Amino acid sequence: MRSTLSFLLTVALSTAALAQDQSKPAATPRCAPPKSFQAIQLYGAWRIELPAVKLTGSMTLRQHPEFSESLRGELRYGDTQSIASGDLEEGEFNLDESSDRIGITATWTGKLVESSCGKEIRGEWQDSRKGVTSPFILRRDAGW
């Protein structure tokens, strides 16, 4: 009788422990390190925030037509429509923007946010014509 009671108690405790383990939320998957991302992983639509100049907009990134490992983008924010070209190297994001399609009118220098799994880039935007700077936040558009 004592061994049966001991067996039932062991089964009950094991079942309770198993139920507790199953009720814990699954661990959040870890992201690849930003340094491992390639330009191709940034292709698509992004939302732009330039908080210091109170502007928002959109950016679409794709493969550069002449340099296969570089980026080409179209940007719209405020009353600006422009193109940009740049690179992603070891998590460092750099774009040269041209609103007149002749010279560089702004630069974007930033980094992939470690915990964003490639869905957020933060850095500094600098308008070279006006000498204005702003932090920037690029967030992957939900459709991508």
Which residues have a Cβ under 8 Å from the Cβ of 40 and sit 6 or more positions away? 63
The CATH architecture that domain 34-140 belongs to is: Beta Barrel (2.40)
In the structure, what pLDDT confidence band is assigned to residue 31 with cuts at 50, 70 and 90?
confident
- Average pLDDT of the residues in 47-65: 97
Which residues have a Cβ under 8 Å from the Cβ of 36 and sit 6 or more positions away? none
The amino acid at 94: N
pTM, entire model: 0.78
Instruction: Provide the 8-state DSSP code for 102.
Output: S
Average pLDDT, the chain: 86
Rounded Cα gap, residues 89 and 70, in angstroms: 9
List the one residue out of 57, 54, 42 whose CA is nearest residue 95: 42
Instruction: Provide the 8-state DSSP code for 30.
Output: P
For 80-134, what is each residue's pLDDT tens digit?
999 999 999 999 999 999 999 999 999 999 999 999 999 999 999 999 999 999 9
